[in-house]
Amino acid sequence: MADKEPQQPEELPIVLVHRLPSYKIPLDPSFRDQLRSQFHMLDPHESPEPYDSFLARHAPFIRVLMTIGHSPISAEFLERLPVLELVVATSAGLNHIDLPACWSRGIVVTNVSLAFAEDVADCAVGLLIDVLRRISAADRFVRGRLWPVKENYPLGFKLGGKRVGIVGLGSIGSEVAKRLLAFGCTIAYTSRNKKQSVSFPFYANVRDLAANSDVLVLCCALTKETYHMINKDVMVALGKDGVIINVGRGSLINEKELVQCLVGGEMGGAGLDVYENEPNVPKELFGLDNVVLSPHCAVMTPESFEALDQLIVVNLKAFFSNKPLVSVVSNE
């Protein structure tokens, strides 16, 4: 029997590629080829036709959109796609997508937090251990040849037994909790809603969580509600020995007030992978040995990106096969 001929692009399921002109389809060439072999990837920026004309001509047939990076999706943009049913985000953060507008239309949104969860959690725990045990500062101490001069290096702090408050107990927060339980920490959390399947203590607001924690680990999405949710009141409630770890988004924290508290000795330390105005980092933090800085790289492993690629394909194939989607963003 002759082999079945490969499907032609016009026969493949249509997926709109939504990206800023400066963005490219990611990506590893083999993954790009995998997408194009299974789906008709419509990219307006690859067409000589004007963008608005291209989108209007194809809009009646576009049920799925894949957004690249943090290309914005507004309510106005969604109105141009009358039959859209699914937005496949290629990021964990979703502050570039108008989620209420999607949900009001019944449009399902998926992200890739499951693909990143383990590696981001590893980074969060690494930052916490580094802050408490002063590992990066100790490295500078040795390299600066201060050991023979000063002899005694300042004491660090034990991780085991710490009360850790997790802000956002989603896929990443849950992985952080799993790791820290193994170190002997106790876990509490705050989230949009109490999770019935979780036995950890729940606090309805972040200030109360901070008042009952030694450490806050920020893993939640950036929204209008979570913008600057970590302010001076929360930092003071955490206490002068308290530590904040942020692997969520920079604007979850009022950065100016964070700097003031750290410089003024009102907090014990911080481990930061994200900032309000990346790639700019407040210069006041550079000289603080109780602060560990990382250049927004918590997800940066080859394993994360391989898992991301596969999760995107799994969701696209599931949608067009009427099978359950993975990593659906909840509107609860």
- Catalytically active residues are 249, 278, 296
| DSSP category for residue 280 | B
Smallest CA-to-CA distance from 206 within 182, 173, 159, 158 is with 173
| DSSP category for residue 170 | S
113 burial level (CB within 10 Å; 0-12, 13-18, 19+): buried
Radius of gyration (C-alpha) of the chain in whole angstroms: 23
Cβ–Cβ < 8 Å for 135, 157: no
Smallest CA-to-CA distance from 326 within 110, 143, 134 is with 110
Angstrom distance (rounded) from CA 247 to CA 123: 8
Angstrom distance (rounded) from CA 196 to CA 81: 36
